[in-house]
Amino acid sequence: DGGITQSPKYLFRKEGQNVTLSCEQNLNHDAMYWYRQDPGQGLRLIYYSQIVNDFQKGDIAEGYSVSREKKESFPLTVTSAQKNPTAFYLCASSGGTGTDTQYFGPGTRLTVL
Amino acid sequence: AQKVTQAQTEISVVEKEDVTLDCVYETRDTTYYLFWYKQPPSGELVFLIRRNSFDEQNEISGRYSWNFQKSTSSFNFTITASQVVDSAVYFCALSEAGRDDKIIFGKGTRLHILP
């Protein structure tokens, strides 16, 4: 089955620790995206990548880092510099341009203890 | 600047009633795309529809229909004969061609279908 997988589904982190969220897709999509969702809020773009070895900051990139070493993988690291990391994180992919439909993974719920 | 407004934060209807979710957008571009996504309690966003700015024809898919009106910058979504499984948060989104490769999402409307 083609799709997007994110792991883990739930993640707990102590303050001051970095944590990496996984996102993998087998849709052969060029573009991948990371969003953050807070309760009662829409989606805010953290980072996106249109091609391997290249990525751009979104609207709320501070405290986050990404890499795109393989077409199918786009991991997100939440660093200790992120002031309020507790949120729901969604990964998406699309054919390549911003107007293409984005397809989403199941999400990772991160809680900082 | 591009913007998407979903004024209805939360709606509750009784099962089998029809319900319309409103979406108003702002854009300076003539070429743009509009989307609707459904987010059930599991959390994953499910794609429903993508419509380009040159196609104002209304769309129907089963119990779902969409009314696109450029004159009022609206792209409303109607569920006919609602069912409990329709309970979810629904997001409207906008993307402008050739600009930043981003999709801008509204804040969503939480829909409760009461049995």
How does pLDDT run across B32-66, given as a tens digit for each residue? 999 999 999 999 999 999 999 998 888 899 999 99
Higher pLDDT, A82 or A41: A82
Place of tokens 């804040």: B107
Contact: A107, B47; criterion CB under 8 Å: no
pLDDT of A83 reads: 87
pLDDT of A95 reads: 87
In this prediction, residue A42 has a pLDDT band, given cuts at 50, 70 and 90, of confident
Q: Does B49 touch chain A (CB under 8 A)?
A: no
Q: Is the pLDDT of residue A40 over 90?
A: no
Share of chain B above pLDDT 90, in %: 83
Best to test chain B binding among A7, A11, A35, A43 (most B CBs inside 10 Å): A43
Share of chain A above pLDDT 90, in %: 78
- Average pLDDT over every residue of A39-68: 93
Q: Is the pLDDT of residue A99 over 90?
A: no
pLDDT in tens, A7-39: 999 999 998 899 999 999 999 999 999 999 998
Place of tokens 């969409």: B66
Bridge partners for B27 per DSSP: none
pLDDT of B105 reads: 93
pLDDT of B99 reads: 62
- Average pLDDT over every residue of A71-80: 96
- Average pLDDT over every residue of A60-72: 96
Residue A44: strand, helix, or coil: strand
Q: Does A53 touch chain B (CB under 8 A)?
A: no
pLDDT of B100 reads: 65
Q: Kindly report the average pLDDT of chain B as a whole number.
A: 93
Q: How many residues make up chain A in this entry?
A: 113
Contact: B103, A98; criterion CB under 8 Å: yes
- CB neighbours of residue A35 within 10 Å: 27
pLDDT of A100 reads: 85
Question: Pick from B3, B31, B7, B17: which is nearest to B84 by CA?
Answer: B17
Question: How many C-alpha atoms does B95 have within 13 Å on its Cβ side?
Answer: 19
User: Which of A43, A48, A105 is closest, CB to CB, to B44?
Assistant: A105
Q: Which of residues 8 through 27 in chain B touch A, CB cutoff 8 A?
A: 9
Q: Is the pLDDT of residue B98 over 80?
A: no
Size of interface A-B (CB pairs under 8 A): 58
Q: Is the pLDDT of residue A1 over 80?
A: no
Contact: A103, B47; criterion CB under 8 Å: yes
Q: Is the pLDDT of residue A55 over 80?
A: yes
User: A27 and A93 in contact (C-beta within 8 Å)?
Assistant: yes
Question: Pick from A41, A34, A98, A100: which is nearest to B91 by CA?
Answer: A41
Return phi, psi of residue B86, to 5°: -80, -10
Q: Is the pLDDT of residue A112 over 70?
A: yes
Contact: A42, B105; criterion CB under 8 Å: yes
Q: Does A43 touch chain B (CB under 8 A)?
A: yes
Best to test chain A binding among B8, B37, B44 (most A CBs inside 10 Å): B44
pLDDT of B93 reads: 96
DSSP character string of A83-100: S---EEEEEEEESSSTTS
